[in-house]
Amino acid sequence: MLVQYLKEVIAEIRRAAIALEAKQVLNEHLARYLKAQFNFLLTKIACRLTQIK
């Protein structure tokens, strides 16, 4: 009974891993986009701060 339960758990983990691999490409694209937006905002803030001085 325990062996069957462990087999089911392993199968579920494998299914989740396969699903995550499919989403990984999208996540990498989103991470690059968010990083670019963050860098843009930091640059904009830095420009404004230099204008204040």
Compute mean pLDDT per 10 residues along the chain, 53 residues long, and list them: 84 82 77 89 88 74
End-to-end Cα separation, the chain, in angstroms: 72
Position 7, amino acid? K
Confirm whether 47 is domain-assigned.
yes
- Within a domain: 7: no
Q: Is residue 42 part of a domain?
A: yes
pLDDT at 36: 92
d(CA 20, CA 25): 9
Q: Which domain holds residue 46?
A: 25-53
CA torsion 44→48→49→53, rounded to 10°?
Answer: 150
53 is a domain residue: yes
The answer to whether position 39 is within a domain reads yes
Q: How many structural domains compose the chain? A: 1
10 is a domain residue: no
pTM of the model: 0.51
Chain centroid to CA 5? 31
